[in-house]
Structure 1
Amino acid sequence: MSAPEPPKRSTHVDMPVAYAAVGASKLPDLMRFPPEGSTPYEEQLRLGSGQERFLTASNLLMTWGAQRGAGLAVEDVVRGSGAHYLGPSFDQSGAPQAADAPEEHFGPDGEPYLVAGSTATLRAEGQDARSVLIVYTIDEERRVGFAWGTADENGAVGEQLFAVERREDDTVWATARGFLFPPKDGLLGLRARGAVRAAIDSVRDQLASLAPGARGSV
């Protein structure tokens, strides 16, 4: 009689977030096939060119610089282990790739880069605070970034990926993509759609804060 097979291990665990489809912001076909009922988006902004600009923008992005530069207060930060969510990665053809072990990086002031599993509270003046969880990070030679998922229902709910990339033509871009659901607090129609639009407007502000000369940037 053969021995029973050991249980299969999964890289996906239950996450304390307020939406399903965790990790879907990295899927190549997100814009065509977003999670049902959500609004997908993609934004990009050219930051300049060259390795120095890429490193400067990367350091800002991975130490909450985009959020702080856009006027958000980042509070109650609890650093994660880097291994809470290691979802599938995809190459340019869409083929899944094995996840690499996270590597520690630090900004020029010694502040550690964001890692998966970290949590924080984001506060914008005149708005309800939002709790977020970093569900995965990106650490590639020409691309770095992170995605958070909303951990409360105080507005639009979903997942948002922020990244900085240095392209083959040496230009440096800040990019964002994600999917958002209307608030679950009973808002309907224009007010619900307005909450989603406001969240996307905030994304644009965060990308703009990474540009040279912006507040908090160099």
Structure 2
Amino acid sequence: MTLTYPEVGATAGPGPLPAGYHHLRHRTAVGRGAADFTFAGSAVTGWRMHRAAGVRITADGPRALPGTRVTCRIGLGPLALTAPCEVVLAVDEPRRAGFAYGTLPGHPECGEESFLVELGGDGTVWFTVTAFSRPGRRLTRLGGPLVPLFQRLYALHCGRTLRRLTARRTAPHR
């Protein structure tokens, strides 16, 4: 299977996203300091954030590395959406960690989404979701403006989930 869009890696930089797609950029503060950065980066690249957000992940590797095939399932039973993807970019730097995956045939959308954790100069740990997508199946075309709304709500949910996971890591145990 090959990726369903040509602009592979376009979520990697701060530049403009490709034309002809719906664009999403969402940034959330999730912690503070190097320890929170390390934890949050590992939670994102090791699939923990996605799983804690309610996404059933099947991946052919324990971490997000280029070439890793991932299937995300959201929902229950016959109403569950299945989204096959491939990791196209992994970031493992002293102040940035994360990955981007692109859509494979069978995904409801065509495009790419990145999940990046950054340690800011002031010590704030930021989580950013960047995506570009357009309908890939009839179902998402019929969803019209609801699909971008769902994507934005999902990005918000991922940010809250990662902030909660990071806070639990540092909370005193009772």
TM range (shorter): 0.7 to 0.9
> Structure 1: where are the runs of 5+ without partners?
1-14, 80-111
Tell me how far 1:186 sits from its aligned partner: 6.7
Tell me how far 1:116 sits from its aligned partner: 0.6
Q: Quick one: which of 5, 12, 22 aligns to 1:39?
A: 22
Aligned amino acid, residue 72 of structure 1: V
Alignment-derived partner of residue 28 in structure 1 = 14
Counterpart CA distance in 1 for 2:43 and 2:80 is 24
For the 8 Å contact 1:153–1:185, the answer to whether it is kept is no
Counterpart CA distance in 1 for 2:152 and 2:111 is 11
Runs (4+) off by over 6 Å: none
Counterpart CA distance in 2 for 1:70 and 1:154 is 19
Alignment-derived partner of residue 42 in structure 2 = 59
TM-score (norm 1): 0.69
Counterpart CA distance in 1 for 2:102 and 2:146 is 19
1:149 maps onto 2:99 in alignment:
no
1:201 maps onto 2:153 in alignment:
yes
Counterpart CA distance in 2 for 1:169 and 1:139 is 20
Q: Quick one: which of 114, 125, 129 aligns to 2:82?
A: 129
Structure 1 residues 37 and 153: alpha-carbon distance in aligned structure 2, compared to 1, 3 A threshold: farther
Provide the secondary structure at the position in 2 that maps to 1:26: coil
Counterpart CA distance in 2 for 1:41 and 1:163 is 13
Provide the secondary structure at the position in 1 that maps to 2:100: strand
Alignment-derived partner of residue 4 in structure 1 = none
- Find the structure with the greater CA-based Rg: 1
The answer to which of 153-162 and 66-75 deviates more is: 153-162
TM-score (norm 2): 0.85
Tell me how far 1:115 sits from its aligned partner: 0.7
Structure holding more helix per residue? 2
Between the aligned residues of both structures, percent identity stands at 26
Structure 1 residues 187 and 175: alpha-carbon distance in aligned structure 2, compared to 1, 3 A threshold: closer
